Structure 1
Amino acid sequence: MISTKVLYSAVLKTEKIDDAHKFQSLPQPSGSYPYRLKVDPIHNDEKLVFHMVGDTAGIGKSDLQQTVVNQMTTQYLNSTPDEQPSFLYHLGDIVYHYGEAEQYDTQFLTPFEQYPAPIYAIAGNHDSDVNPQSKEAYESLEAFYTTFCNTCPKTIHFGNNKHRKSQIQPHVYWTMEAGLATIIGLYTNVPKYGCIKKEQRSWFVKELQHAAKFSSEKAIIVCLHHAPYSADFNHGSSPNMIEFLESAFEEAGVKPDIVFSGHVHNYQRFNKQYLDGKTVPFVVAGAGGFEELHTLADPTDPEYYTESPLFDQVHLENYCDNRRGFLKIVIEKNPFSFIIKGEYYTVSNKNSENKNHALFDTFIVDLTGR
């Protein structure tokens, strides 16, 4: 018998899921419009380094989550000063299964207690959902706002980690202005395939156009929790997010240089080739610690389909669906070169004290000369 290698690609689920009723109203912003936060990186104007990871929460096997955090911490401490990350950007799902304050200490504050850099975040669907069986009533994103969207750095009252103070992000969707990068963070709410409404869409189009004014000096990065493209068996791709992004890019007349997401518990890197010649990577990095990993779906399985106009010129370049891991992003600019370099590190699944991280994938987005 001759075995054939499966050619994995982005998939859509055949069975349509309509859970629009799970949409949660957005809280009021904690900062002023247009919700921008300037972050001063620790490096000079020629380099920006940061970590990125999603779906770190752990409710069953917290050691898996702790291992990922420990390895990011180890990498930070073992880096030369010019390679140390200025911050960690979290792609959402900080706690499971609902965004209750009582979950933040064990699933976020304690595991990240020794991580040396500041942590910024966008909210995932689990961070935003409300437990209908909770004994105490609370609002969607209430604990997330206390932790990440405070008006000034404060002790987080529901945690035992006294060292990490609350962040001062201006809203649940917001833009980070960080040296060599403009990072636009979207909020995609609770429904399975995400939901973004008119007000946030209008803001996003304007932020893309604003970022484009500085594109010769800064990379344009878009982050959202729900993955637009995915080849996994559990979620598959999100037609909602694909259609949202593509229509916003067209209206703005601006495409980002790269798009990051979580939600799917694995690592995937897609490239999309546009008609104007630009190639945009779409990177999924949602294997940050949750005990269940999402393997890729067999594209011949009738539960999925791969033929869709939404997938035109979209190609899966690399993936890892059997190990947890995290990203290190380096943006470098000098008179001769301007690049985004991504490195994805995997963490051993073995339950041993000698866990370490290994480089799995490297990619470069060349912005030179634009």
Structure 2
Amino acid sequence: MISTKILYKAVFKKNPVDDSHTFQPLPSPTGSYPYRLNLEVKSDNPRPQAMVFHMVGDTGGFKQPDLQKQIASQMAQQYLQAACPEERPAFLYHLGDLVYHYGEADQYEDQFLKPYESYPGPIYAIAGNHDTDVNPNSSEHYEPLEAFYTAFCNTCPATLHFGSGISRKSQVQPNVYWTMESPLATIIGLHTNVPKFGCIKKEQQDWFIKELKHAAKYSSEKAIIVCMHHAPYSADVNHGSSMPMVEFLETSFEAAGVKPDLIFSGHVHNYQRFTKQYPDGKTLPFVVAGAGGFDELHALADPEEPDYQTENELLEQVVLENYCDNKHGFLRIAIEKTPFKFTIKGEYYTLSGKNTENNDHEARLFDEFIVDLTGR
């Protein structure tokens, strides 16, 4: 019997369910337009040559809480064991779904605050669909994103009322979609709302187009990174690729005349790294990192199965470069800029196995990639 290896690729699910009614209205911004947050440089050097940060998505969950504790512990160890200050992550950027299955305040302590109490650095975030959704059976009324705003979009660092004995203060992001301006990168965070394949309205798209144009003015000095919860491209069985998110990005890139250097997402509970080749010669990586702790991982789909389609112009020139669908993990991103090179290096680390009793077992490097921006 001859066995053939499946050639996995990005897929669309056939006959997707229309759940647009789950869209939730957004709260008012806590900061002023255009919702930018300048990251302070904690260094004597006003123009640092390197910046390192962690990135992870979909860390919440309650069936196997040790999984998110292990992920948080491994990132904390990388922070504490950094060989020099330049190797120490400046922050953790969360790609959404801190809590499941709804964004209730009483879920934050066990699913996020306690597991990440040991993480030494600041944590920034975009909200996922579960963080945004409202539990229809809740005994107490609350607004969409109410707890997320308390934790991440406060006007000043404050003690979180839903975290007993927790030292971490609230973050001061200016809006649910916002831009982080750092010395080596402009990181644009989108909010993709609740529907299964995401939904972004015109007001946010107009903002995004302007932010891409603004970031392009500094592209010789800063990388342009886009973060969104719903994955544009995916090869998994549960979600597949998101046609609304792909169309949103492509129309925005065309309107702005700008493409970013890297796009990160979560939502799909695994790791996938795609590249898309554009007619202008640009190769754009799309990285899915949604295996941050929720117990259920999403396997990849056989593209020949009748429930999936791969023949679509939106999937042309999209290649799955690497994936991991059976282990939890996180990203370590390093940006380096010298007079001779300008690179973004990504490393994806996975937990070594399913032993949830040993939080100190070292994570293993699974994949690494480099985006070379030298000379632009």
Please give the range of the TM-score, normalised by the shorter of the 2 chains: over 0.9
Q: 2:363 is matched by which residue type in structure 1?
A: H
> Which of 44, 49, 55 is residue 46 of structure 1 equivalent to?
49
Tell me the alpha carbon deviations over residues 208-259 of structure 1, each in whole angstroms, 9 at most, x when there is no partner.
0000000000000000000000000000000000000000000000000000
Distance in 2 separating the partners of 1:16 and 1:161? 44
Tell me the alpha carbon deviations over residues 189-214 of structure 1, each in whole angstroms, 9 at most, x when there is no partner.
00000000010000000000000000
Distance in 2 separating the partners of 1:264 and 1:115? 24
Q: How many angstroms does 1:351 deviate by?
A: 3.2
Is 1:35 the counterpart of 2:41? The answer is no
The residue correspondences of 1:344-363 to structure 2 (distance < 5 A) are: 344-348=348-352, 349-353=354-358, 355-363=361-369
Counterpart in 1 of 2:197?
193
Q: Residue 109 of structure 1 contacts residue 160 of structure 1 at CA under 8 Å; is this kept in 2?
A: no
Q: TM-score by structure 2 length? A: 0.97
Distance in 1 separating the partners of 2:130 and 2:323? 24
Aligned with 1:70: secondary structure? helix
Counterpart in 2 of 1:26?
26
Q: 1:51 is matched by which residue type in structure 2?
A: H
Aligned with 1:30: secondary structure? coil
> Which of 291, 296, 301 is residue 300 of structure 2 equivalent to?
296
Q: How many angstroms does 1:350 deviate by?
A: 2.1
Distance in 2 separating the partners of 1:16 and 1:230? 15
> Which of 213, 218, 222 is residue 217 of structure 2 equivalent to?
213
Unaligned runs of 5+ in 2: none
Q: How many angstroms does 1:15 deviate by?
A: 2.1
The residue correspondences of 1:1-370 to structure 2 (distance < 5 A) are: 1-42=1-42, 44=45, 45-80=48-83, 81-348=85-352, 349-353=354-358, 355-370=361-376
Distance in 2 separating the partners of 1:41 and 1:227? 31
Q: How many residues were matched structurally?
A: 370
Unaligned runs of 5+ in 1: none
Q: 1:64 is matched by which residue type in structure 2?
A: L
Q: Residue 42 of structure 1 contacts residue 86 of structure 1 at CA under 8 Å; is this kept in 2?
A: no
Q: Which shifted more, 43-52 or 62-71?
A: 43-52
Q: Residue 249 of structure 1 contacts residue 255 of structure 1 at CA under 8 Å; is this kept in 2?
A: yes
Distance in 2 separating the partners of 1:302 and 1:161? 52
Q: Residue 70 of structure 2 contacts residue 356 of structure 2 at CA under 8 Å; is this kept in 1?
A: no
Q: Residue 87 of structure 1 contacts residue 117 of structure 1 at CA under 8 Å; is this kept in 2?
A: yes
Distance in 2 separating the partners of 1:195 and 1:268? 22
Q: TM-score by structure 1 length? A: 0.99
Aligned with 1:223: secondary structure? strand
Distance in 1 separating the partners of 2:261 and 2:205? 19
Instruction: Could you list the structure 1 runs, at least 4 aligned residues long, displaced by more than 6 angstroms after superposition.
Output: none
